[in-house]
Amino acid sequence: MNAPLRRVAISVLVLFTLLIINVNIIQVVRSDDLRGDERNTRVLAEEYDRERGSIIVSGNEIAVSVPTDDRLEYLRTYPQGPLYAAVTGYYSLVYGNTALERAENDVLSGEDSRLFVRRIADLFTGRDPAGGDVVTTLDPAVQEAAMAGLEGVTGAVVALDPSTGAILGMASTPTYDPALLSSHDPEAIRTYMDEITGTDAPDPRVNRAIENNYPPGSLFKVIVSAAALQEGYTPETVVPAPDIMTLPQTTQQLRNFNNSRCDPSQQQRLIDALTISCNTAFAQLGIDLGEDKIRETAAAWGLDDEKMEIPLLVAPSGIGDIESDAALGQTSIGQRDVRMTVLQAAMVAATVANDGVQMKPYLVDEVLAPDLTVIDETDPEELRQPISAEVANQLTEMMTSVVARGSGRAARLPGMEVAGKTGTAQVRPDVADHNWFMGFAPADDPQIAVAVFVANGGGTGGDVSAPIARDVMAAFFEGRG
Amino acid sequence: MPGPVTDPRGQVATDTPTRRGTEAALLGFAVLITVVAQIIVDLTVTGHLRPEMAGFSVWITALWVVAHLVVRRWASYADPLLLPAVALLVGLGLTVIHRLDLAAEQVNSTVTREDAPVQLIWATLGVALFVALLVVVRDHRALSRFAYTLALLGIVLLALPAVLPASISEVNGAKIWIRVAGFSIQPGEFAKICLVVFFAAYLVDKRDVLALASKRVAGLELPRGRDLGPVLLAWILSILVLVFERDLGSSLLLFGIFVVMLYIATERASWLFIGLLLFAGGALIAYQAFGHVRARVDTWLDPFAYIDGAGYQLVQSLFGLGTGGLFGAGLGGGRPDQVPVAKSDFIASAVGEELGLFGLVAVIVVYLVLVERGLRTSLVVRDAVGKLLAAGLAFAIAWQVFVVLGGVTGLLPLTGLTTPFLAYGGSSLVANFVLVALLVRISDAARRPVAPHATPVRLGDAPTEVVMP
């Protein structure tokens, strides 16, 4: 009987080897898939068993976890959900995390290494490890004014502190209520998701301040002006400003807005060209300066096709390929392939306001441990300096003229000078134009820089977006007393 | 470690070491692992040691000391790895069950029923039976005298739940229980051992007839038609179990054990072939005829498609294993309670989740050691009944472990067998202690040096007067 016994012994070895191979496949090869499977509630349940940290705006929690009686111990709530949705994002059983809930997840969930010392202490004291808090740079008055201004339109507002880069406001419309995507009821979550994304209406989950870039139109003329000033032009330099301009090597004609005339003499001072936003003047100026100079200047301001983190991911801004002088002419008035995020527009205004120094924008001011001690604080950081303080002063003078007597008059504030630039960007012949405004105030001692974007607003930057910017700035100064 | 030295005639050299020291050391190791694992669980889950910890440590140590002393006294040449392997598995099982008790209390603090202490009592009862069996049964060959009695007992035990009313015998659709006065017994676990003993005695008796070949077809020596009787009977018995008790596991287990023992007894591969054929036929019929079998197979093929129903348990098990990964979440660090009935059927997935791939493979290897030592005993033992019995018992463990672990890891359809020594459940634990007692008994006989007077002496060489040394 020994021969079959040996065969049985070997067969048993084979069977057990099969078991071991199979366990290897599950626990090693398929491990990540199984662990990350959205139906695997283990990892999630562990997360929900901890008190997740809060997201805070000037002392108030805009995302906070509260204890519940159900299977998952904590429920994520958003007391002013729609107002801050673009910043907080959601924390969803079904759809995962977005925005700050995602970018600062390590801190909020308590896994960040900066919290680690405390977590070891937690082990010994037997406390449940809790997450840290994220204190944002937002100013509630600015945020509320921005959302109020965008009411009923699709668009975005970004407000910056020009001297630090702190983001004072970041609004995007249409908005949604993140609380409804963060409940503990997967069915209700799916229903709400269908409701907000299942139609032709613009997707409210897109943060239009940073995730998309748009043609900036005449905002770009500020950058062309900067290039000219660096090349020895002054605001007083007289430049050609014809009624109609034929683009080089084409029969294509470039006109001014509404076929208007910039100046009867077919030429004007640079400051006047910017004030009334003369297309032909800047198209010609751009062609005169040359592609290299335009590209170099644009990149120096941040239109360099690079992504950025604030810590939310920001889409790149750039000017695209320029095949000819004709294309260069169109590029110089912010059309063709020029694209900017709303944040980038705010950064351009802030750079002029901050004597030519561009600060790195940031959304997180402080990180707090669960016991509310500050464990990290953001130090303002210089990102780049595209222009000298002198050029910045000249641009401020020109942009102040835009608001005082030009296309941006709707942004004027009582008691202080405002600097700014309007933009009305053509999208397609059959679609209404995008309306832009960027600016800062007060012009002589800038406290706030703002960019407003209204998608397909149907008017001009001056009459659609400038008033929103004005209200945001007014709210800011009112809040400061 | 070298085994006993045997000469070509199967005689053991007289200076064979008993290896009891090895056994004691390994048992000490198993106890150490058990106690340390229990401490880790308590500290991780509750943050403090439970007051009963000292009592538990003393109890579990006493259990194995007693078992060891009894082996030393009544089976001194027994294989030194069998008992430590069992001790390790039982200790790990107690730890995981205790860990799941704690998880249940965390979810619902009003739950006061703890299963680990109950399991410890069952283990104590198991060791008691282990001791009793070693003391009473001094020679395993004596068992063959009761072969037909045991067969009858086995069939009665097997059939009992089927004929009892469902209120007593049915749990979760399987009619395999006897529930009296708060105790639940699965008589099938004991039936398994009775039937293996019977198979061994019966097959040794009949193997010459069963080994007769009549025809040669495609390279296989096929047995005579009239000799197919026993295998058909075993097959029908298995089908009956399946029909009346809806117990896919026991059905598969019994048939598998019988066919393999038949093969070992007769040395004819054709029996394996016939067994496979009968199995395929039975499986096909079962799949067609029984909804619960079809559901099991469908769930096995694509558990994720049935995640909200029949597949929930398996998917949770897979999630647990996958989340555990290579090193596991650590004892007390995972969520093994998310798998329904993790304490019994799915205890392996709890091991895999918290101890990781390394822990689960280690458990599989411990089973492998247990089985291969059993098969080795079978190889070495001199009498045919002992050979076949040891082989049958060892293969029973192997087959059961394969079917259960294959089930909870998605390699095979789920069958509902228990994981030997590891899983919560008194009948299974006690029955497996009996099983291992028999293996220990046979291994003692296998390694015990042959008394010199037992050596046959050729007549021609025999002196006229034999002087005993």
Find the CB nearest B323 among A13, A16, A43: A43
Q: A40 vs B319: CB contact, 8 Å cut-off?
A: yes
C-alpha to C-alpha distances, A80 to A95, A106, A410, nearest whole angstrom: 20, 23, 30
Q: A12 vs B325: CB contact, 8 Å cut-off?
A: no
ipTM: 0.90
Instruction: Write out the two tokens for A402.
Output: 């835009």
Q: Measure the CA angle with vertex A70, ends A67 and A75; round to 5°.
A: 40
Instruction: Write out the two tokens for A205.
Output: 């989950």
Calculated CA dihedral for residues A212, A214, A219, A223, nearest 10 degrees: 80
For B411, the closest chain A residue by CA position comes to A22
Contacts of B352 in chain A (CB under 8 A): 23, 26-27
CA–CA gap between residue B53 and residue A114 (Å, rounded): 37
A2-24 vs B384-408: helix crossing angle, rounded to 10: 10
Calculated CA dihedral for residues B129, B130, B131, B132, nearest 10 degrees: 40
Q: Does A431 touch chain B (CB under 8 A)?
A: no
List, for residues B70-104, the tens digit of each pLDDT value: 999 999 999 999 999 999 999 999 999 999 998 88
pLDDT value of position A33? 87
pLDDT value of position B109? 60
Provide the whole-model pTM. 0.65
Q: A12 vs B267: CB contact, 8 Å cut-off?
A: no
Q: Is the pLDDT of residue A126 over 50?
A: no
Residue A255 φ then ψ, to 5°: -120, 170
CA A293 to chain centre: 27
Q: Does A124 touch chain B (CB under 8 A)?
A: no
Cα-Cα-Cα-Cα dihedral sign, residues A323, A329, A332, A338: negative
List, for residues B206-229, the tens digit of each pLDDT value: 888 777 766 677 666 777 766 767
Q: How many CB atoms lie within 10 A of CB A56?
A: 19
A221-230 vs A389-405: helix crossing angle, rounded to 10: 140
pLDDT, greater one: B38 or B236: B38
Contacts of B368 in chain A (CB under 8 A): 12-13, 16
Instruction: Give me the DSSP letters along B254-322.
Output: HHHHHHHHHHHHH--HHHHHHHHHHHHHHHHHHHHH-HHHHHHHHHHH-GGGGTTTTTHHHHHHHHHHH
Q: A19 vs B405: CB contact, 8 Å cut-off?
A: yes
C-alpha to C-alpha distances, B186 to B128, B157, B165, nearest whole angstrom: 19, 9, 15
Q: Is the pLDDT of residue B8 over 50?
A: no
Instruction: Give me the DSSP letters along A334-369.
Output: T-TT-BB-HHHHHHHHHHHHTTTPEEPPBSEEEEE-
Residue B62 φ then ψ, to 5°: -60, -40
C-alpha to C-alpha distances, B323 to A107, B104, B106, B120, B327, nearest whole angstrom: 23, 20, 21, 29, 10
CA-atom Rg of chain A in angstroms: 27
Residues of A designated as active site: 218
Q: Note whether A241 and A262 are within 8 A (CB).
A: yes
Binned at pLDDT 50, 70 and 90, residue B2 comes out as: very low
Percent of chain B with pLDDT over 90: 43
Contacts of A3 in chain B (CB under 8 A): 267
Alpha helix ranges (H) inside A276-420: 279-289, 291-301, 325-331, 342-353, 389-405
CA–CA gap between residue A4 and residue A401 (Å, rounded): 101
pLDDT, greater one: B377 or B339: B377
CA–CA gap between residue A438 and residue B22 (Å, rounded): 84
How many residues are there in chain A?
481
Contacts of B412 in chain A (CB under 8 A): none
- How many Cβ pairs within 8 Å bridge chains A and B? 127
Helix (H, G, I), strand (E, B) or coil at A210: coil
Burial bucket for residue A274 (CB in 10 Å: 0-12, 13-18, 19+): buried
List, for residues B342-385, the tens digit of each pLDDT value: 888 899 999 999 999 999 999 999 999 999 999 999 999 999 99
Q: B357 vs A23: CB contact, 8 Å cut-off?
A: yes
List, for residues A67-125, the tens digit of each pLDDT value: 887 767 889 999 999 999 999 999 988 788 899 999 998 899 887 877 776 656 555 55
Helix (H) or strand (E) holding A170, with range, is strand A167-173
pLDDT value of position A171? 97
Strand-strand pairing, A374-377 and A382-384? unpaired
pLDDT, greater one: A198 or B30: B30
Instruction: Write out the two tokens for B468.
Output: 């005993």
Q: Note whether A329 and A245 are within 8 A (CB).
A: yes
Find the CB nearest B318 among A34, A41, A43: A34
CA–CA gap between residue A475 and residue A139 (Å, rounded): 10
Instruction: Write out the two tokens for B122.
Output: 């069952």
Binned at pLDDT 50, 70 and 90, residue A129 comes out as: low
Q: Note whether A305 and A314 are within 8 A (CB).
A: no
Q: DSSP character for B172?
A: T
CA distance B31 to chain A (A): 26
Q: Is A151 left (phi over 0), alpha (psi -120 to 50) or beta?
A: beta
CA–CA gap between residue A24 and residue B454 (Å, rounded): 51
Instruction: Write out the two tokens for A318.
Output: 């750039």
CA distance A5 to chain B (A): 6
Q: Is the pLDDT of residue B139 over 50?
A: yes
Pick from A13, A20, A42 the residue to mutate for testing the B interface (most B CBs within 10 Å).
Answer: A42
Cα-Cα-Cα-Cα dihedral sign, residues A334, A338, A343, A348: negative
For B108, the closest chain A residue by CA position comes to A71
Q: Is the pLDDT of residue B423 over 60?
A: yes
User: Which CATH code for domain A215-340?
Assistant: 3.40.710.10
Instruction: Write out the two tokens for A239.
Output: 């430049």
Helix (H, G, I), strand (E, B) or coil at A437: strand
Q: A12 vs B375: CB contact, 8 Å cut-off?
A: yes
Q: Measure the CA angle with vertex B382, ends B376 and B384; round to 5°.
A: 95
CA atoms within 13 A on the CB side of B193: 18
List, for residues A269-296, the tens digit of each pLDDT value: 999 999 999 999 999 999 999 999 999 9
Cα–Cα nearest to B191, from B128, B257, B236, B119: B257
For tokens 């029908």, name the residue. B236
Lowest mean pLDDT among A365-369, B32-36, B115-119, B270-274: B270-274
Cα–Cα nearest to A27, from B349, B116, B200: B349
List, for residues A439-462, the tens digit of each pLDDT value: 999 999 999 999 999 999 988 999
Which residues contact residue A21 at a Cβ distance below 8 angstroms, ignoring those fewer than 6 apart?
none
pLDDT value of position B1? 44
Q: Is the pLDDT of residue A12 over 60?
A: yes
Q: Scan residues 126-165 of A and list those with Cβ closer than 8 Å to B.
A: 126
Helix (H) or strand (E) holding A86, with range, is helix A81-88
Q: A15 vs B402: CB contact, 8 Å cut-off?
A: yes
Type of residue numbered B183: F
Q: How many CB atoms lie within 10 A of CB A201?
A: 10
Cα–Cα nearest to B331, from B311, B359, B291, B306: B359
Contacts of B335 in chain A (CB under 8 A): 42, 45-46
Q: Note whether B417 and B325 are within 8 A (CB).
A: no
